[in-house]
Structures are given as structure tokens and as C-alpha cells.
Amino acid sequence: MPKLIRKNVFLDPAEVKRARRILGKATDSEAIREALRLVTFRQQVIRAYDQVAGGAPDFGSPWPGSEDSEDAGS
């Protein structure tokens, strides 16, 4: 497991509970880490698709309000 860091964030408890249930995780931390892994995996898939397909039409960022930055919001 990679080195972990502590962050204080404000999250909707209902969304965290739903993520835990969907992802089948025992703790909030596990669910949040898994959700972050899925986000980064999604970005890898989009980039790989673009490389293989020669680039898809630009539909903008997959995340509203994002500049498609690797570290947006940090």
C-alpha cells in the first residue's frame, strides 16, 4: 500500500455511505481511496482510447468545472 496522507475534507455523508455500499467497502476511508483509484483509472482509459483511436472529438472535460488537470483541486 502506498504512503497515506491525512486530509480534512467536507463530504456529503449520504454520498460516502452510498459509495461504501456500491464499492463494498467496510470503512469510509476505503471507499474514498477506491473512488479516487477509479477516477484516475478512468482518466487512463480516456487517454489510452484517444491514443488508439487517433483522438476522439473534443467533447470537453469529463469533469464539469475541471481543466482536465492531473492535480485539479490540490
Residue 3 in any domain: the answer is no
Domain count, the chain: 1
Give long-range contacts, CB 8 A cutoff, 24+ apart: 49-56.
none
- Sorted by sequence, the CB contacts under 8 Å of residue 70 that are 6+ apart come out as 43
Q: What's at 68, amino acid-wise?
A: D
Distance CA 22, CA 38 (A): 13
Residue 26 in any domain: the answer is yes
**Cβ atoms < 10 Å from Cβ of 43:** 14
| Residue span of the structural domain in which 30 resides | 13-53
Task: Supply the pLDDT for residue 52.
Answer: 80
Residue 63 in any domain: the answer is no
Residue 65 in any domain: the answer is no
Task: Supply the pLDDT for residue 51.
Answer: 79
Distance CA 20, CA 14 (A): 10
Question: Tens digit of pLDDT per residue, the chain (74 long)?
Answer: 779 999 999 999 999 999 999 999 999 999 999 999 999 998 888 888 887 877 656 666 766 666 555 554 54
Residue 38 in any domain: the answer is yes
